[in-house]
Amino acid sequence: MRRGVCSFVLMAIGIAAVACMEGGSRRSIASAGEPPASNAEVKIDNFSFGPPTVTVAAGTTVTWTNRDDIPHTVVSDDKAFKSKVMDTDEKFSFTFAKPGTYSYFCSVHPKMTGKVVVQ
Ligand SMILES: [Cu+2]
């Protein structure tokens, strides 16, 4: 009888330990490898990019939203990225994998310029 209770307790501890290990490994898989993805927003309004310069970590996705009632584009100087013409409330996203300074402009209104600094 004693032995039976004892092995039952051991079994319960074993199940708890396995459950604990699974939870732990799942957590470590999620945090391993690539740095966590983050996001940044740039709003286009009144013929300007706001903020005009965003500084982000490598791997960040930047999303531009056209809040103007005029079509705009987002085109990088070195053609690293290029949006289509965005109408009001349309969005364009680009993920910056490599560090560097990315200057960009609106091809419809080339005086509109902005910068993404990737660290
Ligand atoms: Cu424009």
CATH at 80: 2.60.40.420
pLDDT of residue 100: 97
Domain interval for residue 94: 39-118
Distance in Å, CA 9 to ligand 1 centroid: 70
Same structural domain for residues 50 and 85? yes
- The model's pLDDT over 65-119, given as tens digits with 9 standing for 90+, comes to 999 999 999 999 999 999 999 999 999 999 999 999 999 999 999 999 999 999 9
Residues 83, 77: Cα–Cα separation, whole Å: 12
Same structural domain for residues 48 and 21? no
User: Is the pLDDT reported for residue 13 higher than 60?
Assistant: no
Distance in Å, CA 118 to ligand 1 centroid: 23
Same structural domain for residues 29 and 81? no
Residues 97, 54: Cα–Cα separation, whole Å: 15
- The model's pLDDT over 17-58, given as tens digits with 9 standing for 90+, comes to 444 444 444 444 444 455 556 899 999 999 999 999 999 999
Same structural domain for residues 47 and 62? yes
Higher per-residue pLDDT: 113 or 7:
113
Distance in Å, CA 28 to ligand 1 centroid: 44
Distance in Å, CA 101 to ligand 1 centroid: 21
The structural domain count of the chain equals 2
Same structural domain for residues 11 and 51? no
